[in-house]
Amino acid sequence: MQRMRCLERILDEVSDRDHYLFSGDDVQVLFPDLNRAAVKALLSRAAGSGVLERVCQGLYLYPRAPHPRGLVLYHAASKLRRGRFNYLSLESVLSDAGVISQVPINWITVMSSGRSYVMSCGAYGSIEFVHTKRQPNDLAGGVTYDARIRMWRASVALALSDMRQTRRPMDLIDWSLAHEFA
């Protein structure tokens, strides 16, 4: 139990509105004397006792830290694939712009240089990572950094192009609005 109290004390010190999600690697840095299995066990005990809340596989939220409820899914996506090139696109961008009629609830779509995968994040929703071979320099002018979600965001024109490239259904698109963004 001593490690648990130590973990709580450290998380109280280091967590804030910007740092409230922690991975196994983050905890490993806090406890360099522990091996991976011991860190995993510590995280499991911390989640079981309510010190941490499991968001998704390998990612935990410290509930005593202030955190923006509506942005956890976005911040989780950027943290889960931090070694890859990622940007919000497809239905998420088109819905935000009002170009498609349906609003995805608790579901975000992210283009990623990593593999395609749907990550379930429990009560927070799901993140759909869709593989792209596009390189960052190919997208100049097509993406802007959105500090609020801590991720690059595609323009509507790029999101439409991504929809075509990934062969997503285009029947929900309001083309009269889409042409305004082209």
Q: Return d(Cα 178, Cα 176) in angstroms, integer.
A: 6
Q: How many helices (H) and strands (E) does the chain have?
A: 7, 9
Domains observed in the chain: 2-67 (1.10.10), 70-181 (no CATH)
Which pLDDT does position 105 carry in this prediction?
85
What pTM value is reported for the model? 0.90
pLDDT average, residue stretch 75-80: 94
Q: Is 35 exposed, middle or buried (CB count within 10 Å of its CB: 0-12, 13-18, 19+)? A: exposed
Reported as a pLDDT band with limits 50, 70 and 90, residue 170 is: confident
Contacts of residue 6, defined as CB under 8 A and 6 or more positions apart, other chains included, come to 31
pLDDT average, residue stretch 136-149: 92
Reported as a pLDDT band with limits 50, 70 and 90, residue 174 is: confident
Whether 87 contacts 139, CB under 8 Å: yes
Give the SS3 label for residue 85: coil
